[in-house]
Structure 1
């Protein structure tokens, strides 16, 4: 979606910046909420992505959806356990398959009106096209991002 769209990644904020495990009431939950609020407040469109386990993140996510002044879209990518395990094999992570099986929760939906569940079988291009079709035209950011330069 180009300049003016902030991609807020749960893994980056939680695992890289805070080095925190995914726990109920973790510091990353408020950090994610405030990062999204800040980006919206300075005029960015925001994509929040991650494995946002509803019992840990649900209240915060519903709060963000409720308070957002513009259109909000919620997508759940339904990846079966076996596919999750297959994808995990190619990543450099120290989490075992047994641990993934323990953590896995099928259809961990947020339960907000309009939430869209997407089957995992789509390729990246098809998935991207589908999401863009569902969200429709996006308002341009509320500021000129082309003028900023980093020295």
Structure 2
């Protein structure tokens, strides 16, 4: 059965980096569905309640699961805008689900953004920051800031457990 892994947290908490490492650790047959890519790049949409990206994210996750992939869904996924959709995905997923929230203090978020090539002001980051924006789903794990990436990845992969490659084409030349 496919695994559904949700990685959430504030801007600069390390979600995208962690999701990429977890995807490598889970192996082929794991799709990494990033909120920012679908919302900002594909749709060029602002993060608003009822935005088109919410259904787009939901259907992308469903599609990937439906064709036999494990799925990592990562993003800020602000609970008032995305909570219902993520809870629905978790509830309907036929296999194991894992929900992680990366809890990084505002000061660390601001520090991490200093080294990024982004046009977001510290005031805007303060406005966006929502402490412990949890979904309240069973088994949701909050991970406090501190562990390095290797330790954090190992922790998440240990919680997920052994993963079997899924999908239709894994092991063929097109994926080498």
TM-score tier (shorter):
over 0.9
Per the alignment, residue 58 of structure 2 pairs with: 33
Q: State the 1:142 CA deviation.
A: 4.1
Higher RCO, 1 vs 2 (CA within 8 Å, ≥6 residues apart): 2
Aligned length: 150
The alignment status of 1:42 with 2:77, answered yes or no, reads: no
| TM-score, length-scaled by structure 1 | 0.95
Partners of 2:150 and 2:118 lie apart in 1 by: 26
In structure 2, runs of 5+ residues without a counterpart are: 1-25
Per the alignment, residue 6 of structure 2 pairs with: none
The list of structure 1 runs, each at least 4 consecutive aligned residues, that deviate by more than 3 angstroms after superposition, is none
Q: State the 1:111 CA deviation.
A: 0.5
Partners of 1:40 and 1:34 lie apart in 2 by: 10
C-alpha RMSD of matched pairs (Å): 1.3
Moved more, 141-150 or 41-50: 141-150
Partners of 1:102 and 1:80 lie apart in 2 by: 14
2:71 aligned counterpart, secondary structure: strand
Q: State the 1:94 CA deviation.
A: 1.3
The alignment status of 1:118 with 2:143, answered yes or no, reads: yes
Out of 102, 122, 125, the residue aligned to residue 127 of structure 2 is: 102
In structure 1, runs of 5+ residues without a counterpart are: none
Q: State the 1:43 CA deviation.
A: 0.2
